[in-house]
Chains A and B, each alone.
Chain A
Amino acid sequence: MTALLEVQDLTVSIPSRFGEFTAVDQLSLNVLAGEIHGVVGESGAGKSTVGSAIIGLLESPAHISAGSIRLQGDELTALGDEDYHRLRGNRISMIFQDPQTSLNPLLTIADQLVETIQQHRRIGDREARQLAMELLAETGIENAEQRLDDYPHQFSGGMRQRVVIALALCTNPELIIADEPTTALDVSVQKQILGLIRNLAEQRKVGFLLITHDIGVIAEITDRVTVLQHGKVVETGPTAAVLGTPQETYTRALMAAVPRLDTRLERFRNIVTEDKRIDGESRWAVDGASAAYASNWLLGGDKVARHHTAAVGRSTERPDNALLRVDNLDVSFGAHNRWFSKKSGFKALSDVSLHLHRGEVLGIVGESGSGKSTLAKVVVGLVSSSDGTMQFNGATLPDGRHRPRSHLARRQIQMVFQDPYSSLNNRRTVEAILTEPLLFYKLAAKGPDTRKLVASVLELVEMPQRAMLKYPHQFSGGQRQRIAVARALMARPDFLICDEPTSALDVSIQAQILNLLKDLQSNFGLTILFISHNLAVVRQMADRVVVLRRGEVVESARSEDFFNAPQADYSQQLLRETPSLDLLGSPG
């Protein structure tokens, strides 16, 4: 059987002021009709560029500098602009990542579908409309007839992605390129959309090129997979074979870095051999600074106390003597009571109770809109509660509005944020960023000591000391997240809140950061509130798990119990819908 799409030795170059950059390097792959071919890789692997190259939408100055792309034997790279454009939609179509921005906000769904259909087929308005309705129904939109005349903003995210798929499908293309089609969606919706793609491939015999960073998605629905690194193919073949028994070191390492739902690892294997030097200079150091110095400083006077209270084997299910205790917490947004209108607002959290013992890691799990980030914000005082109480270290913890600026908890509770690109102030040096907590909390006087501490803590988070002289934008996402962790440590906290600390990172970097957090936790007996939408990640970190849904606690259990036998229906559903690597056996 000849392939639907044959890509051979495709090379895409991007000239830039730093010299010519090869985004895709001699890539070859085949897609058969009715087959889903996955392209997987970390950021910078060039996977999206492959998609744009095939559909002929590379953004200038990127261009194909060598190789061939054949669609059922027709060479595409030789096509002129106009011929290529006629081919788009007709024979190749594309699905983009973000359904929020892929649809024209000012036109109804019918307008967009009918226009696309009539672009490629000479049929009347009524017929096109009928076809549009059938397509919507086929992609799983209920009441398709009524919904035709709705505008995009009237659909939810998942529904919009269905509309996008209907639009990509309405011209009967032979090949659809799906670029991260489920990345912006919650797991339950992701599962449905992936199922839809699977069905369409089988029933309509459409070939799919599915581009994603998520190995779970690859394992879930692709037939074949191509693994990319730095624009080059590392390994390609049937999905089960490539992921189950990877031949190449990179693939094996990549698989090892993916957190599993079924097992908890003590440490991940580090797969990145990062160049620790910055600017090729590594020998810059502050006198006397070392990771050991930082450890000593962090453990400080109450070293003994901490180690003894660290919860080892002790039952932590009861809230007595907990470090943090939250009782019946309510938070609502947008509520107001003015002379002309009364609004109850949106309830972000309702009647949430939980607790956390010293040395314990509590995982908070939930989909978007579950209120998990709000919970973090209430505890650190960014958001005020409307009802309920909080206790920290045995004393009442006032909410945001009533917590004085000098409150002790402001030092003791520190936070690591999700987005390392926005959590560090780009206009300040790393040294200034890390020195700030020291001076602010009066933990050290300005002088050589602060510098020594900053350098030592950087060592502790496995960053070169020289990093302190640089600005955040000079670092990668993973390095920035290390700096963010260092900043939290500078306050000598008792309690660390991590809000999706790895969800903006590649899996290999995620593994590193999780390792770092695990090390810090065990060495310093840190108490951590670990928030994530990713159940597999939570499994790696948490001693106990709390599941949130629409602001309410659905389940609260010890981690092992939860992952082996979840009690609530919703928890079971969440676990079922999380893409799993089960079929691939245990990590190598």
Chain B
Amino acid sequence: MIARMRRYAIENELLYLFLHNRIAQLAALIAIIMIGGAVLAGFVAPTDPNDLASYDLLDSLLPPSWSEGGDARFFIGTDDQGRDLLSAILYGTRLSLTVGLLSISFACILGVSVGLTAGYLGGRFDAFVMRIADVQLSLPAILTALLIDGIARGILPQQSHDDLMIVVLTVAIGLSLWVNFARTARASTFVEKNKEYVQATEIMGMHPVRIMLVQILPNILGPIMVILTVDLAVAILLEATLSFLGVGVPPNQPSLGTLIRIGTEYLFSGEWWIVAFPSLTLIVLIVSVNVLGDFLRDALNPKLR
């Protein structure tokens, strides 16, 4: 059994490379811990920062527990409203990850279906889609996201805007990232389409939709996985940036971006921890996702080996 597993590990390129890449393993471990912490925020967090009764303004701006004036109840201190920073970060990570994953799934599904179709059909549809992609590429992701966010603000009344913010953010970030998926899917489809195994099914008279989904899609998953990982980092970064700029999640909901935004106001008065810990969390999260993305990219790129 063990021998068989070992042989599988040698034959499976990706697994082999992963087992011999300490940095990638570390990144995966950190990512799993952070995702776990975020998913289980309700259980592991000392308090619920969304529950008004759980915090007290009297506890505001307390430093980390180990420094002078710290309070053992609040391990890494409190924010301006007296919320436990650790709990806020856990809940904030959950929100950031939720938005990141939702928006990247949205971008992936939209981009891959468009790119796959465009690459396979070619011709007018392809030209049309690629023109749209050109236009969109001429507007950087963050700009697109800001713009969609701005439009949503214009259309939706203030109250429902706050309620729908997660949806608006997901759509805004998703729409600003779909182009990457579309272009990658299209380029890979283009390569696969000209391979003989696809021609064989065309000769048979198989339906194009079936050719795309059953034959081509499984073969282009590699590069899409890379984009998925790399752009997950971008999506998390975008969410944090939008929230930091004050146009993302509403300020009363802790996300990493809003926490940092609050923290900057206290930077000059010496309350560094409000900025430091959320920033650190954000950086570690994005670095580990990026390391995994890099690993996948190198592992799936035969040119580098």
Contact = CB atoms under 8 A, between A and B. Distances in A.
Are A and B direct contacts in the complex by CB distance below 8 Å? yes
Contacts, number: 54
Contacts of A405: 205-207
Interface stretch (B47-55, B192-200, B282-290): B192-200
15 contacts: A17-B10, A18-B10, A405-B206, A411-B204, A414-B203, A417-B196, A417-B199, A423-B196, A424-B197, A425-B219, A426-B219, A427-B219, A436-B201, A440-B206, A491-B204
Contact of B196 (A410, A422, A428, A491): A422
Interface residues of A: mostly helix, strand, loop or mixed? Answer: loop
B98 interface: no
Is chain B's interface secondary structure helix, strand, loop, or mixed overall? helix
Contact of A407 (B10, B16, B196, B205): B205
Contacts of A417: 196, 199-200
B218 interface: yes
How large, as a class, is the contact surface on chain A? 20 to 34
B255 to A, nearest CB: 39
B202 interface: yes
Contacts of A381: 202-203
Contact of B204 (A419, A428, A437): A437
B233 to A, nearest CB: 27
B219 A419 contact: no
B215 interface: yes
Contacts of A413: 203
A415 B197 contact: no
B196 A418 contact: yes
Contacts of A425: 197, 215, 218-219
B16 A487 contact: no
Interface of A: 17-18, 380-382, 403-407, 410-411, 413-415, 417-419, 422-428, 436-437, 440-441, 487, 491
Contacts of B199: 382, 415, 417
A415 B203 contact: yes
A440 B219 contact: no
A36 to B, nearest CB: 34
Interface centre among B10, B205, B207, B218 (most CB of A within 10 A): B205
Contacts of A380: 203
Contact of B202 (A382, A423, A426): A382
A406 B195 contact: no
A425 B219 CA distance: 8
B200 A487 contact: yes
A410 B205 contact: yes
A492 to B, nearest CB: 13
Contacts of B202: 381-382
Contacts of B219: 425-427
A513 to B, nearest CB: 16
Contacts of A406: 205
B195 A422 contact: yes
A440 B204 contact: yes
Contact of A382 (B16, B197, B203): B203
A469 B199 CA distance: 23
7 A-B pairs with the lowest CB-CB distances in the bound complex, closest first? A405-B205, A423-B196, A427-B218, A417-B196, A422-B195, A410-B205, A425-B197
A404 to B, nearest CB: 8
Interface string B6-28: 00001000001000000000000
Contacts of A18: 10
Given A425-B215, A427-B218, A419 B203 contact: no
Contacts of A414: 203
B285 to A, nearest CB: 32
